């Protein structure tokens, strides 16, 4: 039993087949991420159609200008169907960027998540210090830092705060030295597996379109690094996802 804790489903023209393969490969649930109002609505619609898809809704920092009052109403109206607010956060990687706007939109969604008692899925890229600073200001049901690829120091800090992290295809890349250490240091009750499909395919599919079934390859890599069997890693990470998302 596996759970893909982060995938984007809206761009698959052959979604039926992708999901069929996913189910046949033994993946039990997919947490469907979104990055703007349009994809949030789609994630929600997918969850109506496929009961193993669990929707999250949020505006990604690179889409901050799309945040609106009507999106806030959407979040409030659908809060009982959402498993988290996300993905939200800060991304200082791409120019041009408006840090003030990103922070404003991030904060607005954090306070909403706190009000609605929903956990948050965080996207954090080249913005670790600011993201962690802002998060400190909110009392949240749960925090998951997705696609974690920070330093050991950052991992120690987020574990201290009781946050969760998820690992994706990047841990299978040949130059991924840091992950060995991260996997050894992560609290075993605080990590999950993800694909970030259709992006970031794990080896041996690096560069190709990713699918949620490939979460099994991430699981395999984690198991070999930790000297655990794959079933055990699948069990631990699925239990963590079930607890975090309440699914
Ligand atoms: Zn994502």
Residue 93 has pLDDT above 90, yes or no: yes
Gap from CA of 70 to ligand 1 centroid (Å): 22
Q: What is the pLDDT of residues 130-159, one digit of tens each?
A: 999 999 999 999 999 999 989 999 999 999
Gap from CA of 104 to ligand 1 centroid (Å): 20
Distance CA 32, CA 58 (A): 11
Q: Out of 41-50, 56-65, 175-184, which region has the weakest mean confidence (pLDDT)?
A: 175-184
Gap from CA of 157 to ligand 1 centroid (Å): 22
Gap from CA of 6 to ligand 1 centroid (Å): 6
The whole-number average pLDDT for the span 71-94 is: 97
Gap from CA of 144 to ligand 1 centroid (Å): 12
Gap from CA of 73 to ligand 1 centroid (Å): 23
Gap from CA of 106 to ligand 1 centroid (Å): 15
C-alpha distances in angstroms, 85 versus 31, 81, 163, 187, 225?
11, 11, 15, 23, 31
Question: What pLDDT is stored for residue 177 in this prediction?
Answer: 72
Question: What pLDDT is stored for residue 175 in this prediction?
Answer: 79
* Average pLDDT value over all residues in the chain: 96
Q: Which residues surround ligand 1, an ion (CB under 5 A)?
A: 33, 196
Question: What pLDDT is stored for residue 104 in this prediction?
Answer: 98
Question: By 3-state DSSP, what share of the chain in percent is helix, strand and coil, each rounded to 5?
Answer: 45, 15, 35
* High-pLDDT (> 90) share of the chain, %: 92
Query: Closest Cα to residue 217, out of 75, 34, 4, 14?
Result: 4
Domain that holds residue 177: 2-245
Residue 114, class by beta-carbon neighbours within 10 Å (0-12 exposed, 13-18 middle, 19+ buried)?
middle
* H or E element that contains 39: helix 37-49
Question: What pLDDT is stored for residue 96 in this prediction?
Answer: 86
Gap from CA of 36 to ligand 1 centroid (Å): 11
Question: What pLDDT is stored for residue 178 in this prediction?
Answer: 84
- The residue ranking higher by pLDDT, 94 or 128, is 128
Gap from CA of 22 to ligand 1 centroid (Å): 18
The whole-number average pLDDT for the span 110-129 is: 97
Q: Who's near 204: CB < 8 A, 6+ residues apart?
A: none
Residue 163, class by beta-carbon neighbours within 10 Å (0-12 exposed, 13-18 middle, 19+ buried)?
buried
Q: What is the pLDDT of residues 227-237, one digit of tens each?
A: 999 999 999 99
* High-pLDDT (> 70) share of the chain, %: 100
The residue to which tokens 């069990």 are assigned:
235
* The Cα angle at residue 156 between residues 151 and 159, in degrees rounded to 5: 125
Domain count, the chain: 1
Q: What is the pLDDT of residues 3-27, one digit of tens each?
A: 999 999 999 999 999 999 999 999 9
Gap from CA of 40 to ligand 1 centroid (Å): 12
Task: Look up the CATH number of the domain holding residue 106.
Answer: 3.20.20.140
């Amino acid at each position: 039993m596996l759970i893909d804790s982060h995938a984007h489903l809206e761009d698959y023209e052959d979604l039926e087949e992708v999901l069929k393969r996913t189910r046949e490969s033994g993946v039990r649930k997919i947490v469907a991420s979104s990055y703007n109002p349009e994809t949030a609505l789609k994630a929600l619609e997918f969850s109506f159609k496929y009961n193993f898809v669990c929707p999250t809704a949020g505006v990604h920092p690179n889409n901050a200008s799309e945040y609106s009052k009507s999106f806030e109403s959407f979040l409030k109206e659908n809060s009982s169907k959402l498993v988290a607010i996300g993905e939200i956060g800060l991304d200082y990687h791409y120019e041009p960027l408006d840090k003030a706007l990103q922070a404003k939109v991030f904060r607005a969604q954090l306070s909403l998540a706190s009000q609605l008692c929903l956990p948050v899925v965080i996207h954090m890229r080249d913005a670790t210090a600011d993201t962690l600073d802002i998060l400190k200001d909110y009392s949240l049901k749960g925090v998951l830092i997705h696609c974690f690829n920070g330093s050991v120091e950052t991992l120690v800090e987020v574990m201290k705060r009781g946050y969760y992290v998820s690992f994706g295809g990047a841990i299978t890349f040949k130059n991924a030295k840091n992950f060995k250490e991260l996997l050894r240091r992560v609290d075993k009750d605080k990590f999950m597996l993800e694909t970030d499909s259709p992006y970031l395919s794990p080896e041996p599919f690096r560069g190709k379109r990713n699918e949620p079934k490939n979460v099994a390859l991430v699981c395999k890599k984690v198991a070999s690094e930790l000297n655990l069997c794959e079933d055990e890693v699948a069990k631990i990470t699925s239990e963590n996802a079930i607890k975090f998302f309440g699914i």
